[in-house]
Amino acid sequence: MTAEPFRSQLAALEQRGRLRSLMPRSGRDFASNDYLGLAGDAIIAQSVADAVARGVPVGSGGSRLLRGNAPEHEGLEAKAADFFKTQAALFVANGYLANLALFATLPQRGDLIVADGLIHASAHDGLRLSKAASVFAAHNDVQSFADLIAAFRAEGGKGRVWIAVETLYSMDGDMAPLADLTKLAAKHDAMLVLDEAHGTGVFGPGGRGLSSGLDGLHNVVTLHTCGKAMGTEGALICGPRVIIDYLINRARPFIYSTAPSPLMAVAASAAIDRIEAADNRRDRLATLRQDAAEAICGPLGLPAPRSQIIPLILKDDVRTMAAAAALQKAGFDVRGIRPPTVPAGTSRLRISLTLNNGRSDVLALGDHLRRLVR
């Protein structure tokens, strides 16, 4: 097999400013999803060290349905169900696998999935594997969701409707209109699939997310990732017991994947305790948002941030990556985001506020951004 087709495609990406490469960590953290600064938390680390000392293995040894099901997995799932106030939970390796499993498994042939137009790539990949038809609503436009459902029924669609959104969008930093979507779902007897990847830990009482209060409804399935504000790894699918049992029996991404390390289940369990008691951290993060509003958003003509994610849209791919490189050279780890991660013509700097930084870091970044962008 010749490598030439791959070389030419990589060269074309480079010419368009879209070639990707792995970079070492360096500079002040304005790129990670470690929003509460828990990735290096000593208490979570100690919980893992204690587990190793008592003989909990590093490897799971197989899939959950073979010999890979450990007491630590089941303990985490019971704790997560209690914490998020749902009937049951299922621990999987990561959020990508979770979305793949959800959309490839739950909607049935004859159903319709109405997904937000900016939903995560992992959901898109799950939709491609689904037996159900799928359509995309205009971003955060409840009327667009309603119109698509009405069109499905008008065309004779009899199956169940599934409404799929992120509660907090990872590249735009805005939030889904959950109250209105919940009413729409109730009106149409639809299922709601809510991806809380960037909301868990940061919002809601005890860090339960923006969907707090909805998790226990019979028509709601939530996804809480552990690798962002929780500072660990993996993902928790939460919902009615029958949904979780069905995933265990039918979700190929779950059935045929080696189970996550039992040690990571221990870490995620400790992380639940940490985010529940993290009101002070959430307050500090909210203060950083205010600092960013004054030092970054105001001077650059951006709206005040509603979340810890601030997009600075520069449109052009090459310009975006040049700006990111300049910031990195100045000691700020800000990454450029290009298509296909975001729509064409919306390349951006994604500024992520985390407790790995303080007010002085935000002010310094704002000063560099003002000089760079202008």
Q: Which residues are catalytic?
A: 33, 120, 166, 170, 195, 198, 228
d(CA 95, CA 104): 14
DSSP 107-172: SPTT-EEEEETT--HHHHHHHHH-SSEEEEEPTT-HHHHHHHHHHHHHTT--S-EEEEEESB-TTT
Spatial CB neighbours of 336, under 8 Å, sequence gap ≥ 6: 317, 320, 321, 323, 324, 347, 348, 349, 350
* Residue 359, token pair as written in the block: 């007010």
Query: Coil, strand, or helix at residue 358?
Result: coil
Residue 312's alpha-carbon distances to 9, 202, 304, 329, 348, in angstroms, are 28, 21, 12, 18, 5
